[in-house]
């Protein structure tokens, strides 16, 4: 049984004390940034990227992954306790979770969130482990046209899954792609858009761009209004859900896991979509839909399972194809490159310890999260009382140190400031930043494969249509985009995302 | 008029045109078979400019009220100044003064923040960063730089 021996290999790698420690550090940090406003997993991972250089490749990826799914957990805590989702994927959790907290059922709500997340995480880990090897085999047959088509599909999906105008989001993706091209052209050595600055020869620093757009712009948004962060509960009592509750949440958690696992594989923000889809599904099939929005425990369990499963399976495209499904995965790829590992389908065979260790660590991380979140909930509640006036200067100081330490280059700090302003302007004009960052990462790859494909085919663009895999991928990409333009769907899309704000 | 989308269109047009013109006039565009450095950027710029035009045209035909909410100018300036200050002083003044200045600038961004409170917050943050990044993670930086003669 390959599957078992692979998982065993992964577990033996992930279960070394050192890796458990860093898995713990990652999930702890993730929970922290999930709970705290104004800083998300993207900015955190970006800041910590330079530090991981001193760790071994598997340890650093295990820790970074822990931050990512830890943040999904932490985000739900604030959603339940103060009706402020720490991460956008837990926005749905706030609908019923906060109502439960107001009715004095904060404990069961938190437990339902944690348990269904753990359940979903466990299943999704197996799903990733089972799906990754066959996908890797397919990916090994990919040539440039297929890679190009796949990235186009990923970008198309990120457009559809983003909120806001489809046209404007396409423009954002293109802008991201073009920003990604700044620097030396690898084929000819020509300088592109460097404005004569030597610092830009290696391109815009990804960490600086990510921290600017996600970190600084977010702080500016939070400074617009003085948000009252009052926890409805100072102490959470009666954590354990009743037998009745457990019975009620089991089926929603299963459905949420299935939905999340499937949608998470889609590039471009699957976890967020999964939680919305799960909530809609639970409400639809419930015998008492009127309870939703008034403290229905199913409305917490389903979406929480879905977003956690989605977060987990979004590793699949990254691990098997080296193509990031979201900005966080792009950072994970960045971490691999820093460690001298070329991302792509060959990682599974050339770095089996890293590959399976990372997958196995996800399960361990999910277990650690239950331990961290349920007994220590009091600690997290107290953290919510840290005033924002102390928090955001600290975030800015960390961000500055983090960005500087990537290359010890002061220019990167000016890039970070510039993209902070740009990101804020974009947010005010209702542009979506996440697809832009995805474009930024894929820009050079996309161009490289486009050029290679055209050279192979002697300049015949039919190469993308004549090869079955690439043709299929492109057709799916077109279909996905076309769907977004159908008026009925466009209207529903608007409704889904309205609740997010 | 839809001011928000008109501004959005302007952002797209400026980006599209500046990148597009640079690729077309400043770089070798090449052909589809042998793409030069300017080919792909030019295609993207045309797309961005096109969308900018479409968004702009739609914006002048509809009427949408515009009530934007901005962070106070003081906050924006203080926040943006923070990383710039860090960049300007990390080499010359060293880690401790650079972090202190960054944190003071950022702390002053909070509405109605008084300088002495900001200074206390900044000092605490600096001490924390010193412990975590310098002593904890061994970041290779000078604590005090050549400008202050240490």
One-character DSSP codes across A365-417? HHHHHHHHHTTTHHHHHHHTTS-HHHHHHHHHHHHHHHHHHHHT-THHHHHHH
Least confident of A213-227, A388-402, A452-466: A213-227
The rounded distance, in Å, linking the Cα atoms of B89 and B91 is 6
Phi, psi of A183 (to 5 degrees): 120, -160
Q: Which of A31, A144, A139 is nearest to A90 (CA)?
A: A31
Instruction: For residue A394, list chain B residues with Cβ-Cβ distance below 8 A.
Output: 103, 125, 128
- Measured between CA atoms, how close is A238 to chain B, in angstroms? 36
CB contact under 8 A, A185 and B37: yes
Q: Which of B86, B110, B122 sits opposite A400 (nearest CB)?
A: B86
Q: Which of B44, B55, B122 sits opposite A177 (nearest CB)?
A: B44
The rounded distance, in Å, linking the Cα atoms of B17 and B25 is 12
* Start-to-end C-alpha separation, chain A: 47
Q: What is the mean pLDDT of chain B?
A: 89
CB contact under 8 A, B33 and A417: no
CB contact under 8 A, A171 and B51: yes
The rounded distance, in Å, linking the Cα atoms of B104 and B84 is 13
Helix (H, G, I), strand (E, B) or coil at A191: strand
Does the pLDDT at position A499 exceed 50? Answer: no
- Measured between CA atoms, how close is B4 to chain A, in angstroms? 6
pLDDT band at B16 (very low <50, low <70, confident <90, very high): very high
In chain A, where the domains are located: 2-498
Q: What is the mean pLDDT of chain A?
A: 83
- Measured between CA atoms, how close is B139 to chain A, in angstroms? 8
Query: Do B51 and A171 form a contact (C-beta atoms < 8 A)?
Result: yes
Does the pLDDT at position A418 exceed 90? Answer: yes
The rounded distance, in Å, linking the Cα atoms of A324 and A340 is 17
Does the pLDDT at position A396 exceed 50? Answer: yes
Instruction: For residue A167, list chain B residues with Cβ-Cβ distance below 8 A.
Output: 51, 54-55
Sign of dihedral through CA atoms B75, B80, B82, B85? negative
pLDDT in tens, A280-310: 888 888 888 888 888 888 888 999 999 888 8
CB contact under 8 A, A431 and B8: yes
- Measured between CA atoms, how close is A290 to chain B, in angstroms? 35
Provide the Cα torsion A117, A121, A127, A132; round to 10°. Answer: 130
Q: Which of A167, A390, A430 sits opposite B4 (nearest CB)?
A: A430
pLDDT band at A458 (very low <50, low <70, confident <90, very high): confident
Q: Which of A287, A332, A313, A361 is nearest to A14 (CA)?
A: A361
pLDDT in tens, B67-84: 878 888 889 999 999 999
pLDDT band at A487 (very low <50, low <70, confident <90, very high): low
Nearby residues of B141 by Cβ (< 8 Å), 6 or more positions away: B90, B94, B95, B134
Instruction: For residue B98, list chain A residues with Cβ-Cβ distance below 8 A.
Output: 400
Instruction: For residue B140, list chain A residues with Cβ-Cβ distance below 8 A.
Output: 408
When pLDDT is averaged across residues B23-50 and rounded to a whole number, the result is 90
What DSSP state is assigned to residue A341?
A: P
pLDDT in tens, B99-144: 999 999 999 988 888 889 999 999 999 999 898 888 877 778 888 9
pLDDT in tens, A6-19: 888 888 888 889 99
User: According to the model, what pLDDT value does residue A501 have?
Assistant: 35
CB contact under 8 A, A405 and B139: yes
The rounded distance, in Å, linking the Cα atoms of A440 and A177 is 5
Query: Do A114 and A245 form a contact (C-beta atoms < 8 A)?
Result: no
Does the pLDDT at position A493 exceed 60? Answer: no
What DSSP state is assigned to residue B134?
A: I
The rounded distance, in Å, linking the Cα atoms of B97 and B128 is 14
The rounded distance, in Å, linking the Cα atoms of A432 and A462 is 32
The rounded distance, in Å, linking the Cα atoms of A211 and A50 is 13
User: Which residue of chain B is at minimal alpha-carbon distance from A166?
Assistant: B51
Does the pLDDT at position B45 exceed 90? Answer: yes
Phi, psi of B59 (to 5 degrees): -65, -35
Cβ neighbours around A2 below 10 Å, total: 7
Exposure string for B14-44, b = 16+ CB within 10 A, e = fewer = ebbeebbebbeeebebbeeeebbbbbbbbbb
What DSSP state is assigned to residue B30?
A: B
Q: What is the CA radius of gyration of chain B?
A: 23
The rounded distance, in Å, linking the Cα atoms of A414 and B81 is 10
Q: Which of B55, B75, B124 sits opposite A167 (nearest CB)?
A: B55
Longest dimension (CA), chain A: 70
Q: How many residue pairs bridge chain A and chain B with CB atoms within 8 Å of each other?
A: 187
Q: What is the CA radius of gyration of chain A?
A: 22
List the alpha helices (DSSP H) in A83-143: 91-102, 106-140
Question: Most A CBs within 10 Å: which of B44, B113, B141, as the mutation test of the A interface?
Answer: B44
The rounded distance, in Å, linking the Cα atoms of A62 and A353 is 12
When pLDDT is averaged across residues A425-433 and rounded to a whole number, the result is 88
Does the pLDDT at position B13 exceed 90? Answer: yes
CB contact under 8 A, B133 and A401: yes
CB contact under 8 A, B71 and A221: yes
CB contact under 8 A, B83 and A392: no
When pLDDT is averaged across residues A393-421 and rounded to a whole number, the result is 89
Question: In Å, how far are A174, A213, A218, A396, B72 from A226, measured between CA atoms?
Answer: 35, 21, 14, 19, 12
Question: Most A CBs within 10 Å: which of B10, B68, B79, as the mutation test of the A interface?
Answer: B79
In chain B, where the domains are located: 3-61, 73-148
Query: Do A42 and A331 form a contact (C-beta atoms < 8 A)?
Result: yes
3-state DSSP helix/strand/coil percent for chain B, to nearest 5?
70, 5, 30
Question: Most A CBs within 10 Å: which of B27, B87, B117, as the mutation test of the A interface?
Answer: B87
Instruction: For residue B107, list chain A residues with Cβ-Cβ distance below 8 A.
Output: 389, 393
CB contact under 8 A, A168 and B55: yes
User: According to the model, what pLDDT value does residue A498 have?
Assistant: 46
Cβ neighbours around A70 below 10 Å, total: 32
CB contact under 8 A, A223 and B75: yes
User: Which residue of chain A is at minimal alpha-carbon distance from B76?
Assistant: A220
Query: Do A95 and A109 form a contact (C-beta atoms < 8 A)?
Result: no
Percent of chain A with pLDDT over 90: 10
CB contact under 8 A, A398 and B129: yes
pLDDT in tens, A177-207: 999 999 988 888 888 888 888 888 888 988 8
User: According to the model, what pLDDT value does residue A227 have?
Assistant: 57
User: According to the model, what pLDDT value does residue A236 have?
Assistant: 64
What residues form DSSP beta bridges with A183?
A: A192
The rounded distance, in Å, linking the Cα atoms of A329 and A67 is 12
User: According to the model, what pLDDT value does residue A231 have?
Assistant: 54
The rounded distance, in Å, linking the Cα atoms of A314 and A262 is 9
Q: Which of B37, B51, B117 sits opposite A192 (nearest CB)?
A: B37
**Pairwise pLDDT comparison (A391 vs A471), residue with the higher score:** A471
* Start-to-end C-alpha separation, chain B: 60
pLDDT band at A500 (very low <50, low <70, confident <90, very high): very low
User: According to the model, what pLDDT value does residue A107 have?
Assistant: 84
pLDDT in tens, A253-278: 999 999 888 888 776 556 677 888 88
When pLDDT is averaged across residues B11-34 and rounded to a whole number, the result is 90
Question: Most B CBs within 10 Å: which of A38, A55, A178, as the mutation test of the B interface?
Answer: A178
Q: What is the 3-state secondary structure (H, E, C) of B41-110?
A: HHHHHHHHHHHHHHHHHHHHHCCECCCCCCCCHHHHHHHHHHHHHHHHHCCCCCHHHHHHHHHHHHHCCC
pLDDT in tens, A84-128: 666 667 778 888 888 888 888 888 888 888 889 899 988 998 888
Helix (H, G, I), strand (E, B) or coil at A346: coil
């Amino acid at each position: 049984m390959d599957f078992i021996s692979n998982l065993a290999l992964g577990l033996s790698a992930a279960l070394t004390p050192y890796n458990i420690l860093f898995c713990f550090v990652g999930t702890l940090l993730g929970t922290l940034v999930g709970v705290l406003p104004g800083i998300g997993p993207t900015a955190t991972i970006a800041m910590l990227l330079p530090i991981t250089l001193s760790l071994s490749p598997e340890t650093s990826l295990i820790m970074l992954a822990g931050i990512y799914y830890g943040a999904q957990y932490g985000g739900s805590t604030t959603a339940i306790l103060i009706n402020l989702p720490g991460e956008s994927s837990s926005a749905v959790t706030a609908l019923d979770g906060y109502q439960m907290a107001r009715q004095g059922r904060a404990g069961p709500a938190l437990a339902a969130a944690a348990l269904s997340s753990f359940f979903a995480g466990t299943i999704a880990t197996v799903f990733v482990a089972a799906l990754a090897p066959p996908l890797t085999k397919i990916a090994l047959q990919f040539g440039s046209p297929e890679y190009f088509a796949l990235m186009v599909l990923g970008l198309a999906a990120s457009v559809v899954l983003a909120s806001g105008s489809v046209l404007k989001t396409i423009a954002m993706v293109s802008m991201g792609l073009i920003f990604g091209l700044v620097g030396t052209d690898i084929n000819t050595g020509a300088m592109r858009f460097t404005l004569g600055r030597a610092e830009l020869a290696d391109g815009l620093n990804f960490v600086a761009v990510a921290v600017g757009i996600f970190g600084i712009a977010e702080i500016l948004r939070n400074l617009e209004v003085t948000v009252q962060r009052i926890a409805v509960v100072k102490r959470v009592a009666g954590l354990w859900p009743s037998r009745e509750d457990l019975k009620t949440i089991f089926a929603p958690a299963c459905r949420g896991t299935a939905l999340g696992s499937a949608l998470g594989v889609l590039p471009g923000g699957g976890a967020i979509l999964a939680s919305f889809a799960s909530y809609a599904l639970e409400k639809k099939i419930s015998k008492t839909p009127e309870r939703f929005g008034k403290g229905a425990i199913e409305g917490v369990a389903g979406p929480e399972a879905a977003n956690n499963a989605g977060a987990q399976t979004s590793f699949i495209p990254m691990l098997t194809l080296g193509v990031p499904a979201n900005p966080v995965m792009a950072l994970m790829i960045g971490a691999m490159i820093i460690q001298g590992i070329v991302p792509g389908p060959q990682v599974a065979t050339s770095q089996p310890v890293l590959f399976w260790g990372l997958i196995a660590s996800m399960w361990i991380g999910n277990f650690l999260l239950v331990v961290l979140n349920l007994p220590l909930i009091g600690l997290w509640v107290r953290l919510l009382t840290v005033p924002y006036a102390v928090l955001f200067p600290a975030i800015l100081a960390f961000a500055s140190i983090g960005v500087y330490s990537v290359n010890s280059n002061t220019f990167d700090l000016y890039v970070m400031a510039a993209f902070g302003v740009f990101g804020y302007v974009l947010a005010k004009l209702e542009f979506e930043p996440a697809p832009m960052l995805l474009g930024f990462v894929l820009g050079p790859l996309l161009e490289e494969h486009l050029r290679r494909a055209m050279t192979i085919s002697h300049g015949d663009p039919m190469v993308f249509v004549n090869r079955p895999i690439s043709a299929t991928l492109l057709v799916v990409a077109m279909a996905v985009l076309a769907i977004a333009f159908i008026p009925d769907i466009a209207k529903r899309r608007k409704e889904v995302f309205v609740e997010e704000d | 008029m839809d001011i928000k989308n008109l501004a959005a269109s302007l952002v797209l047009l400026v980006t599209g045109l500046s990148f597009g013109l640079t690729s077309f006039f400043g770089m070798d565009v090449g052909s589809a078979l042998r793409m030069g450095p300017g080919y792909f950027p030019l295609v993207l710029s045309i797309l961005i400019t096109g969308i900018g035009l479409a968004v702009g045209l739609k914006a002048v035909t509809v009427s949408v009220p515009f009530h934007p909410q901005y962070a106070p100018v003081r906050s924006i300036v203080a926040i943006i100044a923070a990383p710039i200050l860090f960049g300007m002083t990390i080499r010359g003044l060293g880690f401790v003064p650079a972090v202190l200045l960054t944190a003071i600038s950022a702390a002053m961004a909070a509405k109605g923040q008084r300088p002495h409170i900001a200074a206390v917050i900044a000092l605490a943050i600096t001490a924390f960063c010193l412990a975590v990044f310098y002593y904890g993670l061994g970041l290779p930086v000078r604590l005090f730089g050549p400008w202050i003669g240490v």
